[in-house]
Structure 1
Amino acid sequence: MANSSAQKPLSVYLYIPNIIGYIRILMNCVAFALCFSNKKLFSILYFISFVCDGLDGWFARKFNQVSTFGAVLDMVTDRVSTACLLVILSKLYRPSLIFLSLLALDIASHWLQMYSTFLSGKASHKDVKDSSNWLLRAYYGHRYFMAFCCVACEARILTTLLVLDAVKEDSLLSFVVALSLFGWAIKQVINVIQMKTAADACVLHDMKRR
């Protein structure tokens, strides 16, 4: 029994989706090390890491390897990656406060959502079926809509880093940028809504305790 118990934590660490998470972290480390010297390679590595973010969830469901550690690893990797990217943009473009404000919103929104989920006893921060906001329910309730918003958000940030000048000369690229801007805007609105509803949940928890 002792050996069996000792092996359980190791087996979770070696879940396929968690291994994908470790690979994402390594790719991001290499990407950010090259972010100023080779922007194209940085963007390729960063985007592959982002694609893997969708794959780890699929593997978790496919092989029944869903874990709390994996969920936390996934969210922390996402938030740190986005934070680092926005910090880089704040160094390259002005006013930097725009990118730092987006960083603050992203962290505050997701941290509050995770904490309110913990207080309510839910298994996942994506469980918003009881939310009164239709957009938040649509975002977490429809996988393709959420994927579009997330991809658009990352694509919008990367195009800011890479092809700001080329956009004016390429109509197809201009359309892609416009589409990504639409998804990015929806994602920011959802972040604000999520932050507010999560804060309300924390306040409601305090009221119930009293």
Structure 2
Amino acid sequence: MKYSALFFIPNLICYLRFILLIVAIFFEKSTFILFYSISAILDALDGYSARKLNQCTLLGSILDMAIDRISTVIILIKIGNNIPTLTPYLSVCISIDLLSHFLHFSSSLLQSIHHKSCKSKILEIYYRRRILFLICFFVEMFYICCYCTSFISRMYFFCIFFGIFWILKTFLHFIQMINALKELAIISKQKKKK
């Protein structure tokens, strides 16, 4: 009997990540960081298990991308709650993150290609497993350090260090968005001709 993709190990890990993030919302400080960090660690584990168990699916890709976006939104809202003057800037960050990933993922789906397959040389390098992991790890550290600045003053130095990676990732979001818009324009033109 074949197992439904709903119950593949990587997808079960994604469900657990989502539950941990929902629980994290109701906590502050170290308890929030604990639940959030476990969810972030599981993000690396779900991709690893998908490859090792040969359980890479479209459902898994969608779950992973959606939960990554939810994770980013949750921590940026938490930072905004702690440092209200940052809220407008964090709202811009959320908007860029959501739009770039939505456009990129939609473009990939319409072309029936994996969302990590890119025509852009810069994005191709970014999506290499080790590079992607390191950049995402450092950006997660940036978010956690920013969250901690409201109750641990010494975290500012770490925010500056890890912030360099956040700037890089935001730049890559713009490249991702521009490439996706170009691809979607081509797809739209092709569909209009039919």
Query: Is TM more than 0.5 here?
Result: yes
- 1:60 aligned onto 2:47: no
Aligned length: 189
Match of 1:14 in 2: 7
Which one of the candidate residues 106, 122, 147 is aligned to 2:133? Answer: 147
Match of 2:169 in 1: 187
Match of 1:204 in 2: 186
Shift of 1:87: 2.0
Matches within 5 A, 1:87-166: 87-93=77-83, 94-122=85-113, 124-128=114-118, 130-131=119-120, 134-140=121-127, 142-163=128-149, 165-166=153-154
Match of 2:37 in 1: 47
Q: Which has the larger radius of gyration?
A: 1
Question: Unaligned stretches of 5+ in structure 2?
Answer: none
Shift of 1:148: 1.4
Shift of 1:91: 2.8
Q: Runs of at least 4 residues of structure 1 off by over 3 A?
A: 176-179
**Is the contact made by 2:18 and 2:67 (CA closer than 8 Å) also made in structure 1?**
yes
In 1, distance between residues paired with 2:30 and 2:77? 18
Q: 1:145 to 1:127 in 2, by over 3 A?
A: same
After TM superposition, the score normalised by the length of structure 2 is 0.90
Question: Unaligned stretches of 5+ in structure 1?
Answer: 169-173
Shift of 1:180: 1.2
Shift of 1:178: 3.5
In 2, distance between residues paired with 1:91 and 1:146? 29
The SS at the match of 1:65 is coil
Share of identical aligned residues, percent?
Answer: 29
Shift of 1:115: 0.7
**Is the contact made by 2:21 and 2:71 (CA closer than 8 Å) also made in structure 1?**
yes
Shift of 1:63: 1.1
The SS at the match of 1:202 is helix
The SS at the match of 2:4 is helix
Shift of 1:45: 1.4
What whole-Å deviation, never above 9, does each CA across 1:23-52 have from its counterpart, x for those lacking one? Answer: 111211111111xxx311111211111111
**Is the contact made by 1:148 and 1:183 (CA closer than 8 Å) also made in structure 2?**
no
What whole-Å deviation, never above 9, does each CA across 1:111-155 have from its counterpart, x for those lacking one? Answer: 000111122221x11111x22xx3212101x21111111111111
The SS at the match of 1:95 is helix
After TM superposition, the score normalised by the length of structure 1 is 0.84
**Is the contact made by 2:33 and 2:144 (CA closer than 8 Å) also made in structure 1?**
yes
Which one of the candidate residues 48, 73, 84 is aligned to 2:63? Answer: 73
